[in-house]
Structure 1
Amino acid sequence: MKVFEKAPAKINLSLDVLHKRDDGYHEVEMVMTMVDLADRIEMQELPRDTIIISSQAGYIPLDEKNLAFQAARLIKDKYDVHQGVYIHLDKKIPVAAGLAGGSSDAAATLRGLIRLWQLDIPEAELQELGAELGSDVPFCISGGTAVARGRGEKLESIGSPPQCWVILAKPPINVSTSEIYGKLVAKEIRQRPATSAILEAIQDKNFEKLCERLGNALEEVTLELYPEVRHLKECMHKLGADGVLMSGSGPTVFGLVSKEAKVPRIYNGLRGFCKDVFAVRMLT
């Protein structure tokens, strides 16, 4: 038996960091949504009790360092499953890009293994499992659009943002999330995103207000360390994107575009100096 799952990328419409917690994590408040750029996960039962991962991408680990591997091992351990599984990751989402590609792969693996092994696990319980793997995994399990609090695992589902095109561009650098958070001093953030205004814009389906209120507290650190990201934001603005923001800890920058006629010009303009450029829609 085989099962297939899509693992969509996420973007942050807002990301605020409130303070550093006693457990070492940061308390955050984020608005996240998913876009139609996705990895494809294929899972197949194996006759022996083992986990094997493959991928056409030559730049990801295929052992216990891989979040999909960790997800499979976690579900086997928690529910005493003694069946093997072969997992193939068809990667489309860039790695270390601020798009939760690894977290989405882990979430898709959890969802797929429930079907493959016919396990009866409620979504809330699955999200608790996902939180053991990473802060973005619970959101990637449920998908849609949500406000995330705590370290990202406390979710409140909300309505979809106004539909638009999303141009994603990743410069040829990788950014470490732990490095960015490690250099952030929450109480010194100069410009905090207005989460309530983002939520109001989404509720009202007000695209212009949404674009005006986009905000990411981590930009202050990433843009200082990686001038390429600042340059990419400036280029996207000049090419005509309606709203521009860095996703997660970066380095991917996204532009929201309401008119389809603008999309080819922005896409082609970015492709001149950026290999990883995608024109996609929000998943509503």
Structure 2
Amino acid sequence: MLANYLIGLREGIEASLIVGILVAYVVKVGRTDVLRKLWFGVGIAIVVPLGIGALLTWGPYGLSFQAQELIGGGLSLVAVGFVTWMIFWMGKTARSMKSTLHSRLDAALLGAGWGVVVLAILSVGREGLETALFVWATVASVGGGWEPAVGALLGIITAAVIGFLLYRGFVTINLGKFFTWTAAFLILVAGGVFAYGIGDLQEAGLLPGSGVHAYDISTIIPASSWYGTVLQGIVNFNPSPTWLQVIGWVAYIGVVTAFYIRQHRASSHGTAGQTAAPASAQQPVAH
């Protein structure tokens, strides 16, 4: 539940910041006539990922075991790809997000302003699609249950409240530190989903090594124990992974962490010597 809560919280805050920037700019330039179109686009961006999540959850029923494993494994790897891209994209473009959205919104406001609908769908829908796909992958990896979905929903609700408070100026938050630490945690979660996806593809016969376990510590940390369940829910812990899963997990964590640290250091060096801005000034939200 905790992992999905943080996923929902992070993606929800990103979406809230984007909506806040769009709404504030529309009001600032005096185009309040397109606000209804903007919210219409946001609504579509919310509904579509929900539909995709439902399709992923109930769609594979009735398929053969091999087909289900192929779909599950393939989509798990796609989800990991989305989240990994999101982590690096946010680290690279966070400082320019406001100006980028403003320039796109200027173009979308031409004429009747229907381009605002498309901009809202694309900007917010991407966050929703990433959330739906990754939450589905983490739910599938722990064998279903309602806890992961509830965790993601609570994270999104929390993000919506925080986004509203940020927009109104009632609270301030150091978004740089927030995204840095949640990204580090999501790398660990994504590594578990990556290993799970490999396991699904092995069971489907697409990858070799199924049934050849690297180790088995299920007697020390039983998957059915409360602490085994907690570890499984947070980092997709597997007490008896295959060799390919272990290799995949180590490779993913090692490579992504190395590139993330490199990006973070480059970003830190780029801001060295500048006067530290207050938390409120670090928010990419226009008031």
**Normalising by the residue count of structure 1, what TM-score does the alignment of the two structures yield?**
0.26
Select the structure that is richer in helix: 2
Whose Rg is larger? 2
The answer to which structure, 1 or 2, has the higher relative contact order (CA under 8 A, 6+ apart) is 2
Select the structure that is richer in strand: 1
